[in-house]
């Protein structure tokens, strides 16, 4: 994700335009800790969700201070490993090496991954005269690898038989910076396109050709300014800039558009692949489930399973119980995030209750 620097706290202005909790806003029903300070940092993908969660939590829990710095996933993991934060946010579950480096800050335990929010990675396009575009994984892979170079290519026409596709160059746009969004798109193409995508599921873009820009904001802006462009970014950028988004042909009865609900259905096809209290998810990129969008990103909160600081533990458990609650998850819709499947959210709350 693009890195940000602002510290989100309970008094921070929300992305909904508010300057902070108003005197008339009703406080949600939350099982609050009596006091405590909880600091987190990491993924900017969950920045707007975290801002909303903090604001709502502190409406109800006046004695607790929660702050989150959206510094990017790598920085969030590193700060947690140094003991600078009570939790970290990351767009990818921890590697075995990452977990090993958390054992010093989790005496008697180690860090675990708790999925907390999801969202679709939209494929946005700017093709004159085309208002509905369907692509499948192999075709998308060849486009982003500069092996399909004209929009009227037969592979695209086959998926869009009723469209008048212009004979103009395809301009694929990718992230110039290391990015969790890139990593998740790479993972999708590697899992769903297989032989058409020989590159690893890495944060660094390695395919051939195309143009680049740093951050989802810059990629989405470049799409709006370039005829024939196609790029990838979080759905909120497509909504904000009114960019058309690709429907993905998955083998379901109808191609699937990126929405919070379709992303939730895509995440529901995942399996919990972690062991013990670790709830790392294994996504099914080849799902054919009706209405399930397959190009999704899941953000995790990383916490100690054992060895949390006594002075922060009650507030940490209270806050994360809220974010994984039905009330907390319901806040995600307005910000174009995907709710966790109910079964996964239930498992998250169970693990949070056992943190020590």
Known binding residue 325? Answer is: no
Half-sphere exposure of 253 (CA within 13 A, CB side): 2
Size (the chain), residues: 356
Spatial neighbors of 256 by CB under 8 A, at least 6 apart, are 247, 248, 250, 262, 291, 292, 293, 294
- Shortest CA distance to 169 belongs to which of 126, 208, 132, 137? 126
Q: Strand, helix or coil at 67?
A: strand
Half-sphere exposure of 106 (CA within 13 A, CB side): 21
Known binding residue 180? Answer is: yes
Known binding residue 245? Answer is: no
Q: Record the tokens describing residue 298, joined without a space.
A: 């899941």
Half-sphere exposure of 112 (CA within 13 A, CB side): 23
Known binding residue 353? Answer is: no
Contact 44, 2 (CB under 8 A): yes
Known binding residue 75? Answer is: no
Contact 287, 224 (CB under 8 A): no
**Rounded Cα distance, 281 and 94, in Å:** 11
Q: How far apart are the first and last CA of the chain?
A: 31
**Rounded Cα distance, 18 and 325, in Å:** 23
Residue 157 region, left (φ>0) first, then alpha (ψ -120 to 50), else beta?
Answer: alpha
Known binding residue 73? Answer is: yes
Half-sphere exposure of 70 (CA within 13 A, CB side): 17
Binding-site sequence positions: 43-45, 73, 91, 179-181
Binding-site sequence positions for phosphate: 43-45, 73, 91, 179-181
């Amino acid at each position: 994700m693009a890195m940000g620097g602002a510290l989100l706290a309970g008094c921070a202005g929300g992305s909904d335009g508010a300057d902070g909790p108003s005197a008339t806003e009703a406080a949600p029903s939350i099982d609050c800790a009596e006091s405590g300070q909880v600091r987190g940092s990491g993924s900017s993908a969950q920045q707007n969700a975290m801002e909303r969660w903090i604001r709502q939590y502190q409406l109800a829990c006046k004695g607790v201070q929660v702050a989150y710095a959206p510094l990017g996933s790598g920085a969030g993991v590193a700060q947690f490993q140094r003991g600078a934060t009570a939790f970290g946010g990351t767009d990818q579950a921890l590697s075995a090496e990452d977990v090993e480096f958390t054992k010093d800050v989790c005496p008697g335990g180690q860090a675990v991954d708790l999925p907390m929010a999801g969202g679709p990675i939209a494929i946005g396009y700017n093709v004159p005269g085309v208002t509905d575009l369907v692509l499948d994984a192999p075709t998308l892979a060849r486009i982003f690898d500069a092996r399909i170079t004209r929009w009227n290519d037969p592979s695209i026409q086959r998926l869009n038989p009723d469209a008048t596709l212009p004979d103009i160059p395809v301009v694929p746009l990718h992230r110039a910076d290391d990015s969790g969004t890139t990593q998740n798109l790479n993972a999708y193409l590697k899992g769903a396109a297989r032989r058409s995508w020989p590159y690893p599921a890495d944060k660094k873009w390695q395919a051939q050709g195309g143009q680049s820009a740093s951050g989802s904001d810059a990629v989405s802006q470049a799409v709006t300014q370039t005829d024939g462009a196609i790029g990838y970014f979080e759905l909120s950028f497509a909504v904000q800039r009114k960019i058309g988004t690709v429907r993905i042909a998955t083998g379901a009865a109808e191609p699937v558009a990126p929405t919070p609900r379709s992303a939730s259905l895509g995440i529901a096809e995942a399996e919990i692949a972690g062991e013990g209290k670790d709830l790392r998810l294994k996504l099914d990129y080849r799902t054919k489930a009706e209405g399930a969008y397959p190009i999704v990103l899941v953000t995790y909160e990383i916490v100690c399973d054992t060895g949390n600081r006594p002075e922060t533990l009650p507030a940490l458990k209270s806050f994360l119980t809220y974010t994984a609650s039905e009330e907390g998850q319901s806040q995600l819709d307005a910000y174009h995030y995907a709710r966790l499947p109910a079964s996964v959210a239930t498992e998250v709350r169970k693990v949070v209750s056992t943190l020590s």
